[in-house]
Structure 1
Amino acid sequence: MNNVELFHYLLLLICGAGALTWLAERVAIPPAVVLLLGGCVIAVAGKRVPDMDPDLLLAAVLPPLLMSSSFYTAWKEFRQELTTIVSLVLGAVTFTTLAVAVCVRAFNPDLPWAACFTLGAIVSPPDAVAAKAILQRHPLPGRLVAVLEGESLVNDASGLLLYQMAVSAALTATITVASGTGLFFALTLIGVAVGLACGQAMCWVLPRLRDPMLGIVLTFVMAWASYGIAEAVHGSGVLSVVTCGLVLGIRQHRVFDAGMRIKAKATWEAIVFALDALVFILIGLTLHGILAHVNHEGAVLMAGLRVALPATAAAIAARLVWVFAAIWLPSRLRAGHVSSQPWSFGEAVVLGWAGMRGVVSLAAAIALPGNFPGRDLIVFSTFLLIIATLVVQGGSLAPLIRLLKLRPVARHTMSEHEARARTFGASLAALEEIGKRASDLERATIERLLAEYRIRVSANENAYTSGAERVEHRARFLRVELELVGVSRKTLLDLHRDGKVDDAVLHRIESELDLEELRLLRLLEP
């Protein structure tokens, strides 16, 4: 397959991913599951399936997805739940590695311990891409979302350390606890340092760019650059991208102007959607290369099942045990002594069940050296485990959430309507001060603005103080405004069609109407 054919093949995959995503929405199945199964079907039935380079997959696809996830991470909630996240990142990953190794060894006594530990390290960290793809479609308590997203973003450093130690031990290289600890801190500190430097550089450069498109392109370039630079200096590329994204996310409100923020969000959403869909279909396509090895050695198929089944059961059970023993139970015991809310049973169940594996685990397995003991078994069983966690856990997550009746917890903060009333109220006060100094000629304009802002403040104050009836009254008023935007748009297009408005004026006014329509639709969201 030459480069042009590969390009056309990727375009077809993206089109197929879009069609499968549409189908998944219609049948109420998580798109990640449908895309993965679609990739498997292509891998089994397709005659010309290109081999996927795991390093290219990680370097090209993963950084933008991680940057997007970390950019929108709720930093305040992340800090508040840092203890729980660290418990999962260090404790759960290590415990899962040990549990998988012991369980696989018990069912496969001929498999070397180093190979068992390597498999455990490969599948121990849940995947950030898989977690986001599954969880973003379900409204959950803010604390639960913060922990799941935070854990999935930073747990690769601990998983990678255990992976490197197991591979070194299997290939007879000497590694000690001291050297392993040093390796972990080197990966973490270098990755975080590179990410901080890249994030700070972006925060300095972006406000100085006049062209929003150039700034948007630079955000994508920095996602790949922060990953590549960290990997080049032997740090964690994943942590570097995540740190860079967190820095930009925290400072975005001062670094991005309104135009860049609107255009960047639309651009990133479109590209991340395509990459997100492509990741899962590419995971399915790797089955083609795996089956090629299995076909050369038929015994690997049954042996792979003997490895994959206990590994999957151990990985799922270990996470549930850790969550209940190390997070849920201590929070219940400390309930009367600390101010933080204890974890409910339902939250703990979802936290323990949402341990989907994905692209990082598969890439680590495929990257094993060719002479690694039991390599084909590890790659094949890793693929089966990814399938099982995405299909079984990912597919059952929505019914489980509905069964447990988990809902976002009301926080002791202002409602959206009260916050709007406060922000518009500040503008109204400033406008009144301006009006006192205005000339008679300016007074009429100031009065119109005062009337508009008084309506905005009054509507939002009534919405949060007068109950559902006032909220519905406000919604009817907004729908009338939305209808008027449609009338303005139709009139503008009619004028353009009749040759009374040129293209430049059309695009400028249409852009203003688009922003107004987006504002009204956002206000009408429940």
Structure 2
Amino acid sequence: MPIHLSPFDAAAILIVLSAVLGWVNHRYFRLPGTVAMTLMGAVASLCVIAADAVFQGSDISAQVSRFLDDIDFHDTLMNGMLSFLLFAGALHVDIEHLRRGRWQIAILSTIGVAASTLIVGFGLKALTGLVGMEAPLIWCFVFGALISPTDPVAVMGVLKTARVPPTLQATIAGESLFNDGVGVVVFYILLASAVGGEAFSIPHAGEMFVVEALGGALLGAVIGWIAYRAMKMIDDYSVEVMITLATVMGGYALATALHISGPVAMAVAGLIVGNPGISYAMSDTTKDYVLKFWALIDEVLNAVLFLLIGLEAVVLADSIGLLGLGLLTIPLVLAARAVSVGAPLLFWRRLLPLPLAFPVMTWGGLRGGISIALALSLPEGPMKDVILAATYMVVLFSVLAQGATIGGLVRRSVKRASAAVVD
């Protein structure tokens, strides 16, 4: 008899698992948190799949799949976690550094995402033809859109401890904040064309993009300013923490109702609260509580998110034949990232030194939960299985391989760049 969990039960299981695995990692392995959670979740998934293969009649995989279905990864992330994660990330970005790199961030998070979408789309079309699958080009572009947004959660922690120029830090942070929102908008535009069967129209897509992205930025500026003014009028840390919560939850719900980009709105609101809000509207006590509260929210949600990514392997147990195609997409996605980042960096060599910026931004362009959530939101059909398998392999490689080695790469790149300056 299947057991259907309540939202509280599901949340309790995930928090307990995250706490236990986090303790094990801290006590014995000392891996970066995102890498550890994803790896342990994936290993647990493989153990479940192996147990079903060894013990005939076992339905552990089915029970885990039902558990993940009850959670609804897409709805949980896109309408829940994402708003908190983007706001928390934006709180720590220095708006002055962001302003200096505004053109770089704007180009990377718009033209860069579009270029990556096209490169990955045409590349996947060629790969599917190579392995005997004829995937429609529009669906290949859908995959390109969902895999292009980067999620450099693990990278930002390393950048804070390494001697990376502030402009490069701000560029990476700003790109990660805004290309999430842009990528989600592009994904839904392409998905509507793929599902509806209508010819893709660049003018119509451009109009939708402007409305959603600029509308989200405007809403974020308004609610961020309201939160700033409200906090400036009082001095009570508990109320001010609640105001930041209200900004995130109410603002994202309002953006969804208005059909504009919630991720972009949260990024802008977080920048306003995290800069003029912290500088002019909060006492030292309030600032300490607000920053620590959102740092904790960020840590907990990231632990749960990357654990879920690892556990999603159980869902793909029936699509194991497609994982080979997923492996082939890994170098494709890395190449698309290298081109979409490398080409603009050639023109910014004075501002962002190429020997440092190119390897850090290319290898540090991690893919994460947003890509998985978008893939899971696709309508049922043969293309969903193909795209989900490819997405999972790219995200798993991104978190485990790139996330585990980016720290050493940053330190070596900084050392080489410093030596070059001395010479």
Question: When the two structures are superposed, what TM-score results if normalisation uses the length of structure 1?
Answer: 0.69
> Retained in 2: the 8 A contact 1:44–1:288?
yes
- Is residue 141 of structure 2 the alignment partner of residue 123 of structure 1? no
With over 3 angstroms needed to count, the CA separation of the structure-2 counterparts of 1:218 and 1:44, relative to structure 1, is farther
Amino acid in structure 1 at the alignment position of 2:286: M
Amino acid in structure 1 at the alignment position of 2:348: S
Q: Name the counterpart of 2:212.
A: 187
Q: Name the counterpart of 1:376.
A: 385
Deviations 1:92-118 (A, max 9, x none): 212211221222211212122122111
Amino acid in structure 1 at the alignment position of 2:86: L
Q: Name the counterpart of 2:31.
A: 29
Deviation, 1:137, is 5.4
> Of residues 332, 338, 347 in structure 2, which corresponds to 1:330?
347
Deviation, 1:126, is 0.6
Amino acid in structure 2 at the alignment position of 1:390: V
Query: 2: distance between equivalents of 1:42 and 1:361?
Result: 21
- Is residue 165 of structure 2 the alignment partner of residue 141 of structure 1? yes
Could you list the runs of 5+ residues in structure 2 that have no partner in the other structure?
49-59, 419-423
Amino acid in structure 2 at the alignment position of 1:8: A
- Is residue 284 of structure 2 the alignment partner of residue 258 of structure 1? yes
- Is residue 304 of structure 2 the alignment partner of residue 278 of structure 1? yes
Q: How does 1:358-377 map to 2 (within 5 A)?
A: 358-371=368-381, 373-377=382-386
Deviation, 1:187, is 0.8
> Of residues 296, 310, 318 in structure 1, which corresponds to 2:328?
310
SS across alignment from 1:397: helix
Q: Name the counterpart of 2:399.
A: 390
Query: 2: distance between equivalents of 1:128 and 1:232?
Result: 29
With over 3 angstroms needed to count, the CA separation of the structure-2 counterparts of 1:271 and 1:282, relative to structure 1, is same
Q: CA RMSD of the aligned region, Å?
A: 2.3
> Of residues 336, 355, 368 in structure 2, which corresponds to 1:345?
355
Deviation, 1:128, is 5.1
Deviation, 1:229, is 1.1
Identity %: 25
Deviations 1:403-447 (A, max 9, x none): 2234998xxxxxxxxxxxxxxxxxxxxxxxxxxxxxxxxxxxxxx
> Retained in 1: the 8 A contact 2:355–2:417?
no
With over 3 angstroms needed to count, the CA separation of the structure-2 counterparts of 1:228 and 1:174, relative to structure 1, is farther
With over 3 angstroms needed to count, the CA separation of the structure-2 counterparts of 1:280 and 1:112, relative to structure 1, is same
Amino acid in structure 1 at the alignment position of 2:16: L
> Retained in 2: the 8 A contact 1:140–1:407?
no
Amino acid in structure 1 at the alignment position of 2:39: L
Deviation, 1:386, is 0.3
> Of residues 204, 214, 224 in structure 1, which corresponds to 2:249?
224
Query: 2: distance between equivalents of 1:88 and 1:65?
Result: 20
Query: 2: distance between equivalents of 1:66 and 1:211?
Result: 25
Q: Name the counterpart of 1:199.
A: 224
> Retained in 2: the 8 A contact 1:17–1:278?
no
Query: 1: distance between equivalents of 2:158 and 2:389?
Result: 24
- Is residue 123 of structure 2 the alignment partner of residue 80 of structure 1? no
- Structure number with bigger Rg: 1
Deviation, 1:210, is 4.6
SS across alignment from 1:388: helix
With over 3 angstroms needed to count, the CA separation of the structure-2 counterparts of 1:131 and 1:99, relative to structure 1, is same
Deviations 1:253-298 (A, max 9, x none): 111122211222232222322122111112112222333xx2xxxx
Query: 1: distance between equivalents of 2:163 and 2:20?
Result: 28
> Retained in 2: the 8 A contact 1:323–1:351?
yes
Q: Name the counterpart of 1:61.
A: 81
Amino acid in structure 1 at the alignment position of 2:364: A
With over 3 angstroms needed to count, the CA separation of the structure-2 counterparts of 1:341 and 1:128, relative to structure 1, is closer
Deviations 1:33-69 (A, max 9, x none): 1110111223333534321311122222222221111
SS across alignment from 2:348: helix
> Of residues 11, 14, 29 in structure 2, which corresponds to 1:10?
14
SS across alignment from 1:405: helix
List, as ranges, runs of 4+ consecutive aligned residues in structure 1 with deviation greater than 6 Å.
Answer: none
Deviation, 1:211, is 3.2
Deviation, 1:358, is 0.6
Amino acid in structure 1 at the alignment position of 2:206: T
> Retained in 1: the 8 A contact 2:155–2:406?
no
- Is residue 264 of structure 2 the alignment partner of residue 236 of structure 1? no
Query: 1: distance between equivalents of 2:416 and 2:260?
Result: 39
Deviation, 1:17, is 4.2
Q: Name the counterpart of 1:249.
A: 274
> Of residues 261, 271, 290 in structure 1, which corresponds to 2:316?
290
Could you list the runs of 5+ residues in structure 1 that have no partner in the other structure?
295-299, 333-339, 410-526
Deviation, 1:191, is 0.6
Amino acid in structure 2 at the alignment position of 1:85: I
> Retained in 1: the 8 A contact 2:217–2:265?
yes
> Retained in 1: the 8 A contact 2:185–2:261?
no
Q: How many residues align?
A: 390
Question: When the two structures are superposed, what TM-score results if normalisation uses the length of structure 2?
Answer: 0.85
- Pick which of 127-136 and 344-353 moved more: 127-136
Amino acid in structure 1 at the alignment position of 2:178: V
With over 3 angstroms needed to count, the CA separation of the structure-2 counterparts of 1:233 and 1:320, relative to structure 1, is same
